[in-house]
Amino acid sequence: MPTDPHSLDVDSPAHEPDADGDGPPSGRRYVARVETYDDAPDECTIFPEDADADELPTTWVSAEAGSYVSLEAMR
C-alpha cells in the first residue's frame, strides 16, 4: 500500500471485523487492508470504515510485515 493517504482504495476488498460485538469502544468500525509487494515487505493499513475524503488522510495507520501479528496469536 502506498504511504500516500490519498491513494487508499477504500472500495477494494478488505478484512472486516467479526460482527460479534467486539468492536472498538467508540463504536466505529475499522477496515484492515494488506497490500503485497514483490520488491518490498507487505504492508497492512487500518482506517475507519466510515471515513470521508477529508478525514481519511489523518485517520489511518500502516505497518510493514514483521511488525504486526494476527489477533488470534495475541488472544
Per the domain annotation, does 73 fall within a domain? Answer: no
Domain with 21 in it? 5-67
Task: Give the chain's mean pLDDT.
Answer: 77
The rounded distance, in Å, linking the Cα atoms of 26 and 22 is 11
What is the percent of the chain with per-residue pLDDT over 70, rounded to a whole number? 65
Sign of the alpha-carbon torsion through 38, 43, 48, 49: positive
The answer to the question of residue 72 being in a domain is no
25 within a domain of the structure (yes/no): yes
Residue 45 lies in a domain: yes
Mean pLDDT of 49-54: 92
Domain contains 37: yes
Average pLDDT over residues 50-56: 91
- The CA-based diameter of the chain, rounded to the nearest angstrom, is 38
- Closest to 14 (Cα-Cα) out of 1, 28, 27, 25: 1
Task: Specify whether the CB–CB gap between 31 and 49 falls below 8 A.
Answer: yes
User: What pLDDT, in 10s, does the model give residues 18-34?
Assistant: 555 565 566 889 999 99
In this structure, is residue 55 part of a structural domain? yes
